[in-house]
Structure 1
Amino acid sequence: MSTPAMRAEAGEAYRRYLSAVMFHGHASARACELGATDLYALNILQLTGAMTPGELATRTGLTTGPTTRLIDRLEQAGYVRRVPDPGDRRKVIVEPTGSPADLDRIMAPARQRIGEILTGYSPEQLDVLFDYFTRATEAYQETAEQLRS
């Protein structure tokens, strides 16, 4: 992740950032009594909306067996439900029904700290940051698809 225009330590700083985000995600999931992959899948469903189990498997990188067990756990906990696909009654759709009750409380300290950091940026700098997040999201999703092919 190094180009001549970047500072030498940029790659390491970015890797530390990603590791901290992942560490926080794992800790948040544990605090909600969920596995990290369960919380990740629930986040995908909440951001993207209802999808088939196969689509969820593709988005999480899991095979069908572990995806079925993941959906079972989330359904038993009350976070998702399976509903018939209106276009094909042989299929089901997994749709989110809620979030872990403690998730907002658990995430509040990090959200507050990140909010405080963001207030130190100008509107123009925030535009650049959010442009980066949007474009980096697309880059990571595209390259993950390439790695899985």
Structure 2
Amino acid sequence: MTDSRRARAEELSRESRRYLAAYVLFNQAIADHLSLHPTDVQCLSLLTTGPGPLTVKQIAEMTGLTTGSATRLVDRLERGGYVFRSPDQKDRRRVLVTPVPERIARVTALWDELGQNWHALLDDHTEDELEVITRHMRRARDLSHAQMRHLRSRPKPD
């Protein structure tokens, strides 16, 4: 690796850490504004980006929570009116968690309002740059999931 590439990679690593910290704090601010837990906000985000309802087990897998913790998360969202549970018509043993559109609209309106600035930020990029950024984000997400699985398989330090 050349010195220039090493310096660029180190700069990217620092900026990635700053970006991730800023995102975590941003998510906390959204959660505080909505009187929700940060994990609840992320669960709602994941529920609204998928093709349909999810099971508690799927929510646990997506969030990295245990099924017990995911059940408590869904309990909180259900009490808040954000989701409802219903039996899966294809497999009556399973329960599906579905967002409540009217209640989710409250969260979506906030995301839409804040998202205008995000879109303005992206306006400065060419389509090729957007493609690179999207590919990087997708690969980073996949790597994060692989790293989470790896961490969960290791014994915790004393």
- What do the CA deviations read for 1:23-59 (whole angstroms, capped 9, x no partner)? 1111111111111011111112222332221221222
The answer as to 2:89 corresponding to 1:86 is: yes
Query: What is the distance in 2 between the residues matched to 1:131 and 1:21?
Result: 19
Higher helix proportion (structure 1 or 2): 2
How far did residue 108 of structure 1 move? 4.4
Q: Assess if the C-alpha contact under 8 Å between 1:32 and 1:100 holds in 2.
A: no
How far did residue 140 of structure 1 move? 1.6
Q: Which residue among 99, 103, 109 is the counterpart of 2:107?
A: 103
- What do the CA deviations read for 1:93-135 (whole angstroms, capped 9, x no partner)? 1122235443244334532222222111112211211121222
The answer as to 2:53 corresponding to 1:50 is: yes
Residue identity opposite 1:22 in structure 2: V
Query: What is the distance in 2 between the residues matched to 1:121 and 1:16?
Result: 21
Range moving further from structure 2, 15-24 or 82-91 = 82-91
RMSD (CA atoms)? 2.3
Range moving further from structure 2, 5-14 or 102-111 = 102-111
TM-score normalised by length of structure 1: 0.84
Query: What is the distance in 2 between the residues matched to 1:46 and 1:105?
Result: 13
Stretches of structure 1 lacking an aligned partner (at least 5 in a row): none
TM-score normalised by length of structure 2: 0.80
SS of the aligned residue for 2:124 comes to coil
How far did residue 3 of structure 1 move? 8.8
Between 1 and 2, higher relative CO (CA 8 Å, sep ≥ 6) is seen in 1
* Number of residue-to-residue matches in the alignment: 148
How far did residue 21 of structure 1 move? 0.9
- What do the CA deviations read for 1:53-102 (whole angstroms, capped 9, x no partner)? 12212222222332222111111222211111223323211122235443
Stretches of structure 2 lacking an aligned partner (at least 5 in a row): 154-158
User: Cα–Cα, structure 1 residues 33 and 101, in superposed 2: closer, same or farther, change >3 Å?
Assistant: farther
